[in-house]
Amino acid sequence: MTGFNEPASTQTALLLLGRGTDAGSERGVDCPGELPAPSDPDLVARATAAKEALGGNVFVLGHHYQRDEVIQFADVTGDSFKLAQQAAARPDAEYILFCGVHFMAESADILTGEHQQVILPDLAAGCSMADMATASQVEQCWEDLQRVGIADVTVPVTYMNSTAAIKGFVGREGGLVCTSSNAERALRWAYDHGEKVLFLPDQHLGRNTMVRELGYSLDDCALYNPHKPNGGLTDEELRNAKIILWKGHCSVHGRFTLECVEEMRRLDPEVNIMVHPECKHEVVAAADYVGSTEYIIKRLEEAEPGSSWAVGTELNLVRRLANRFPDKKISFLDKTVCYCSTMNRIDLPHLVWALEELVAGRVPNTITVDPATAAYAREALDRMLALP
């Protein structure tokens, strides 16, 4: 294969002809143009000292998608719901420092005691998916369902990746929360209690679960667009749908395409394709394995040495798994690597700042859910926890 000692113009021509290679476009887990190191070289020592000074008064939670510089200080790592559960299981910790995004910290506040304070190191760390369903939009959708006479037989189900306001709405209307690992059980519960489901806010998880796990067809799914009157649907389409999917998605998992899968199989016929159920339906249908973040980790733990894997989920996790299992070939499914930009707002400087503020007796960036919303949201979470 032609190398890259050629002049730039020759390199470009060879690439266009398919006769050259570009290391920056090959599958892997490294991001060209890595994020710069923190400007203060003493940040690790400062974080260590502050955490030691706080002792058991602080409990640091780190989501799987966080960068390694933050994860090294986490007392527990996991997905959003596992971390919220872990926060609730530590009643002695006065401060819960959540290295994740806003909706996760809200869930932790709902599940922890009144004497505990949940802290998000950067209040700008949000979630684009959660922001795709606002309380006013969902209320308007429910009014549309009431107008066409189906609200009474519709059970709302919201993904964990939603705001406290949406969880509160779902709890108030008799629905429940789900995660990517228990979405099938949640939907079965919903159909035991109603005829239809309104699924918020990730259309792909809802669609993939309906078709792959429950055996429904794509024709049973209607997509509600909150930016259009009546969701862009006719009254008949609403009445005929078994599940009304909200038009929301994950910006990271939405990047993976069927072309990514097909190209990876051409490059490596032995590859195992594994993706998160937040991916598009055609990507999930073409994959070998589909599952939650915890499922992906467990599958790679159990994989045969020497096996090849292309993983469709957030880059920080994929790279961490590649480093953890060097006896397996693990790469990012897309050749254009991408971090979750909002998750990566929680960096080492923000973590150090939050810890040192606590040492100084100041509590920064507390996340508090109002009592009424929290009560309804807790009902929706409790229904999920009671699933068989």
Binding-site residues for [4Fe-4S] cluster: 127, 250, 340
Sort strands 329-332 and 176-178 into parallel, antiparallel or unpaired: unpaired
Neighbouring C-beta atoms of residue 211, cutoff 10 Å: 18
Can you say whether the dihedral through the CA atoms of 254, 176, 169, 227 is positive or negative?
A: positive
Tell me the C-alpha distance between 266 and 201, whole Å: 34
Q: What single DSSP character describes residue 162?
A: S
Residues making up the binding site: 63, 80, 127, 159-161, 180, 250, 276-278, 293, 340
Region class of 174: left (phi > 0), else alpha (psi between -120 and 50), else beta:
left
Binding-site residues for iminosuccinate, please?
63, 80, 159-161, 180, 276-278, 293
Other CB atoms closer than 10 Å to residue 143's CB: what's the count?
Answer: 10
Among candidates 167, 137, 127, 158, which has minimal Cα distance to 251?
127
- Residues contacting residue 269 through CB under 8 Å, at least 6 positions apart: none
Cβ atoms of 153 and 196 within 8 Å: the answer is yes
Judge whether 49 and 351 are in contact, CB under 8 Å: no
